[in-house]
Structure 1
Amino acid sequence: MTVALRDGRRSVTSWCRRHTIGGDGAVAAVRRGQRSGDAGTLSRDQELELIETLRGSYPDQFGLDDELWTRQSVASLVHHRYGLPVESTEVGGYLRAWGLGPRQPTDRACGLCVDAVALWVEREYPAIVRSAEQHRAELVWIGRTRLHGVVPAADVLSAVSVRGRVRFVIATPNVDPALPRDFLLRLSGPEGNAVHVVVDGSWTRAEWPRRLPPRIVPHPLPSCGR
């Protein structure tokens, strides 16, 4: 059994070299190498104002095409509100500072579940990948984390595809902790695309929406809370 677990951990490491599994999250002190006031750089006050604007909102409320916030839609909002020509790659630096950096599967597990997650990635996850491919569905990992360094505190829900695309929403403070049905529906987009969703331990099964359309297929990551 020890050998199997060790091999499972190696499998996770190898798998993560091929796929980006994202996390979720906000601070954002200016990225290293930049100074507040540089061209294309938000001041701290502008950054905090941006975070407040994003709380509880969706891009379509600002006339943008994305269903959930992305690097591109945040860059468009920054350009519109502040006249700053921020590139989507620069927005990625802010998102990482906010807590939306990449995470390995085992980083999504508590200490008691790390080995179970490693085995799951080795034994169960390949079948999920094949199923998503067969159904021509997008495959994403979703989770929840606390917004970094701001008051009032709030959760950030994010979805990261295996291709590295990050989509997120910042919840308003004191919202229902259950997994929002609207968040999952927006992953599917207005065209109703098929999507397979790996749900980490941020939510128990009891906190999942009771009814989801067949095009949205959730897969639980092993967790003590389930």
Structure 2
Amino acid sequence: MGVVVRDARRLSPAAQEDLRRRAVAAVKAGHTQAAVATVFGVSPKTVWRWINAFDRQGNRALKAGKRGRRPGEQKALDPRQQARVRRAVLHKNPDQVALPGLVWTRPQVRRLIRDWFGIDLSLVTVGKYLRSWGLSPQKPIRRAYEQNPEAVARWLDVKYPAIEAQARKEKAIILWLDQTGLRSDAAVGATWAPVGQTPVVAKTGRRFGVNVMAAISNKGELYFTCYHGSFTGPMFLAWLDRLVRQLGRKIHLIVDGRPVHRRVTVRDWLAERVDRVEMHFLPGYAPELNPVELLNADVKHHVAQANPATPAELSAAAASHLRRRQNQPETVKALFRKPEVRYAAG
């Protein structure tokens, strides 16, 4: 078979073509693929690939071509398989294709590929496929199936502009309010989606938590309280009364439709103070319209970094981060530049 080739990759394209032809000829002459691989300085798998290509396409398969891999060429998944997986990631949740969970992670995509095609890929390879398809891991917007698109459109086009105009006329402040729970075992997830497009779309040991109620304005103002136990009407009114006294000007308060906000006692209290505070309800099942949801996510992320070991540490971490944000009005204002709440930026 001739002289041993030390590294075929260093040869020119023409020399590599000649090497491929001689290697195929050697195998066809009766030499083993392993022996040919040793002599020509390539792997047995490479020799097998040359033989397979020659058997399918003849000498044309051995010709020198432009170096580098064309999109979709010599990959574990062929273009049709890639397109099918990409469609699933873009248009379905994992639970719609018999997989657990609601967000796409690399292990989920790897499992899908294994289930559909019997191909087991590494997580690194799965990540390369996802990026080659123009996808990136992103935090999804959670959107309820029960959401009424017409109510959302009416809020964006009619109701909120009217609130904004009234507040401007009264020199009042608009505050968005929300409550959230922080848990010691909380986790944050992400899903793969097209780059630049926010996707739409749920521990063991002793667990503990603390609740936070916060209100923010598009001017960067932030007011909050941390509490344990259930959210009740008396607690809500006591905090709201302190807020009204502290601000000394009329408040237009935007809230969700949770039962406490709709209690008769709350309505009666507001009716007696209509010149100082008015409450407006967001459309049902539309939390993405409330910028405080973004603050909640920010708090949860930073509190998790603190790894609180006790309820007191959890409360302290939450209060500390919120006080920091109170001193960073530009950061609070930046929340209103997110696409889903940009309507409220003022």
Using structure 1 for the length normalisation, give the TM-score: 0.44
Richer in helix (by share): 2
Higher Cα radius of gyration: 2
